[in-house]
Protein backbone atom coordinates (compact mmCIF):
# COMPACT_ATOMS: atom_id res chain seq x y z
CA UNK A 1 0.00 0.00 0.00
CA UNK A 2 1.50 3.38 -1.05
CA UNK A 3 2.30 5.90 1.65
CA UNK A 4 0.85 9.42 1.72
CA UNK A 5 -2.36 10.98 0.49
CA UNK A 6 -3.80 10.00 -2.86
CA UNK A 7 -3.05 12.48 -5.63
CA UNK A 8 -5.61 15.18 -6.30
CA UNK A 9 -4.63 15.09 -10.00
CA UNK A 10 -7.44 14.51 -12.51
CA UNK A 11 -6.96 13.68 -16.21
CA UNK A 12 -8.91 16.79 -17.31
CA UNK A 13 -6.19 18.96 -15.71
CA UNK A 14 -4.07 18.53 -18.87
CA UNK A 15 -6.57 20.55 -20.92
CA UNK A 16 -6.89 23.15 -18.18
CA UNK A 17 -3.12 23.58 -17.77
CA UNK A 18 -2.66 24.12 -21.51
CA UNK A 19 -5.24 26.93 -21.50
CA UNK A 20 -3.72 28.52 -18.40
CA UNK A 21 -0.25 28.42 -19.96
CA UNK A 22 -1.61 30.02 -23.13
CA UNK A 23 -2.57 32.92 -20.86
CA UNK A 24 0.97 33.13 -19.48
CA UNK A 25 0.62 31.14 -16.26
CA UNK A 26 3.80 30.25 -14.40
CA UNK A 27 4.11 27.30 -12.01
CA UNK A 28 3.14 29.51 -9.04
CA UNK A 29 0.02 30.61 -10.94
CA UNK A 30 -0.84 26.99 -11.74
CA UNK A 31 -0.45 26.02 -8.08
CA UNK A 32 -2.93 28.75 -7.10
CA UNK A 33 -5.36 27.77 -9.85
CA UNK A 34 -5.37 24.11 -8.80
CA UNK A 35 -5.16 24.98 -5.08
CA UNK A 36 -1.98 22.96 -4.57
CA UNK A 37 1.67 23.71 -3.82
CA UNK A 38 4.29 24.34 -6.50
CA UNK A 39 5.95 21.07 -5.50
CA UNK A 40 2.68 19.30 -6.34
CA UNK A 41 2.79 20.90 -9.81
CA UNK A 42 6.36 19.56 -10.14
CA UNK A 43 5.17 16.11 -9.03
CA UNK A 44 2.33 16.17 -11.57
CA UNK A 45 4.79 17.11 -14.32
CA UNK A 46 6.94 14.11 -13.38
CA UNK A 47 4.09 11.63 -12.87
CA UNK A 48 1.70 12.61 -15.67
CA UNK A 49 3.32 12.94 -19.13
CA UNK A 50 0.08 14.31 -20.62
CA UNK A 51 0.09 17.13 -18.05
CA UNK A 52 3.71 18.04 -18.84
CA UNK A 53 3.08 17.86 -22.60
CA UNK A 54 0.03 20.13 -22.32
CA UNK A 55 1.93 22.59 -20.12
CA UNK A 56 4.80 22.75 -22.63
CA UNK A 57 2.44 23.05 -25.60
CA UNK A 58 0.59 25.97 -24.02
CA UNK A 59 3.78 27.79 -23.10
CA UNK A 60 5.40 27.22 -26.50
CA UNK A 61 2.34 28.51 -28.35
CA UNK A 62 2.05 31.55 -26.08
CA UNK A 63 5.77 32.34 -26.50
CA UNK A 64 5.46 31.97 -30.28
CA UNK A 65 2.49 34.34 -30.38
CA UNK A 66 4.38 36.95 -28.36
CA UNK A 67 7.48 36.56 -30.54
CA UNK A 68 5.33 37.02 -33.64
CA UNK A 69 3.72 40.13 -32.16
CA UNK A 70 7.13 41.57 -31.26
CA UNK A 71 8.40 40.84 -34.77
CA UNK A 72 5.34 42.48 -36.39
CA UNK A 73 5.79 45.53 -34.18
CA UNK A 74 9.51 45.69 -35.01
CA UNK A 75 8.96 45.64 -38.78
CA UNK A 76 5.81 47.77 -38.76
CA UNK A 77 2.83 47.34 -41.04
CA UNK A 78 0.77 49.39 -43.44
CA UNK A 79 -0.74 51.47 -40.64
CA UNK A 80 2.22 51.87 -38.31
CA UNK A 81 5.93 52.45 -38.84
CA UNK A 82 8.46 50.05 -37.31
CA UNK A 83 8.93 50.45 -33.57
CA UNK A 84 12.58 51.22 -32.79
CA UNK A 85 12.40 49.81 -29.25
CA UNK A 86 10.97 46.53 -30.55
CA UNK A 87 13.74 46.43 -33.18
CA UNK A 88 16.41 46.91 -30.53
CA UNK A 89 14.90 44.27 -28.26
CA UNK A 90 14.56 41.77 -31.11
CA UNK A 91 18.06 42.30 -32.48
CA UNK A 92 19.79 42.33 -29.08
CA UNK A 93 18.18 38.99 -28.24
CA UNK A 94 18.35 37.32 -31.67
CA UNK A 95 21.79 38.61 -32.71
CA UNK A 96 23.72 39.54 -29.56
CA UNK A 97 26.95 39.03 -31.49
CA UNK A 98 26.08 42.09 -33.60
CA UNK A 99 23.73 44.11 -31.35
CA UNK A 100 25.01 43.94 -27.80
CA UNK A 101 25.62 47.16 -25.85
CA UNK A 102 28.63 49.19 -26.99
CA UNK A 103 30.52 48.74 -23.72
CA UNK A 104 30.61 44.98 -24.35
CA UNK A 105 31.80 45.21 -27.95
CA UNK A 106 35.32 44.46 -28.99
CA UNK A 107 34.94 46.53 -32.18
CA UNK A 108 32.36 49.29 -32.10
CA UNK A 109 30.28 50.06 -35.18
CA UNK A 110 31.17 53.54 -36.41
CA UNK A 111 30.09 56.02 -39.04
CA UNK A 112 32.42 57.15 -41.85
CA UNK A 113 33.67 60.00 -39.63
CA UNK A 114 34.55 57.37 -36.95
CA UNK A 115 31.88 58.32 -34.40
CA UNK A 116 30.39 55.35 -32.61
CA UNK A 117 26.72 54.54 -33.20
CA UNK A 118 24.37 54.08 -30.25
CA UNK A 119 22.08 51.02 -30.18
CA UNK A 120 19.19 53.31 -31.07
CA UNK A 121 21.05 54.68 -34.10
CA UNK A 122 21.92 51.16 -35.23
CA UNK A 123 18.26 50.18 -34.85
CA UNK A 124 17.12 53.22 -36.86
CA UNK A 125 19.54 52.29 -39.62
CA UNK A 126 18.24 48.71 -39.56
CA UNK A 127 14.67 50.00 -39.87
CA UNK A 128 15.71 52.16 -42.81
CA UNK A 129 17.28 49.15 -44.52
CA UNK A 130 14.15 47.07 -43.95
CA UNK A 131 11.98 49.90 -45.29
CA UNK A 132 14.13 50.18 -48.39
CA UNK A 133 14.08 46.41 -48.87
CA UNK A 134 10.28 46.43 -48.81
CA UNK A 135 10.04 49.55 -50.97
CA UNK A 136 8.47 51.66 -48.21
CA UNK A 137 11.02 54.46 -48.50
CA UNK A 138 12.49 56.07 -51.62
CA UNK A 139 16.28 55.97 -51.87
CA UNK A 140 17.69 59.48 -51.68
pLDDT in tens, the chain (140 residues): 456 677 899 999 999 999 999 999 999 999 999 999 999 999 999 999 999 999 999 999 999 999 999 999 999 988 889 999 998 888 888 888 888 776 544 455 556 666 777 888 887 887 777 777 676 655 44
Q: Give the containing element (helix H, strand E) for 131.
A: helix 119-133
Residue 6 lies in a domain: no
The domain in which residue 121 lies consists of: 76-140
Domain count, the chain: 2
Closest residue by Cα to residue 34 from 64, 8, 67, 62: 8
Same domain, 114 and 140: yes
pLDDT of residue 105: 46
Same domain, 129 and 84: yes
Residue 21 lies in a domain: yes
Q: Which of 68, 98, 113 is the last residue of a domain?
A: 68
Helix intervals (H) in 2-118: 13-22, 27-34, 38-47, 49-75, 84-94, 96-99
Amino acid sequence: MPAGRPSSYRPDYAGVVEKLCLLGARDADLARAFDVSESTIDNWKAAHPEFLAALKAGRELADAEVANSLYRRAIGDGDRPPDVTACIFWLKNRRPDLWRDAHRQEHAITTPDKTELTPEERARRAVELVDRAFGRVQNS
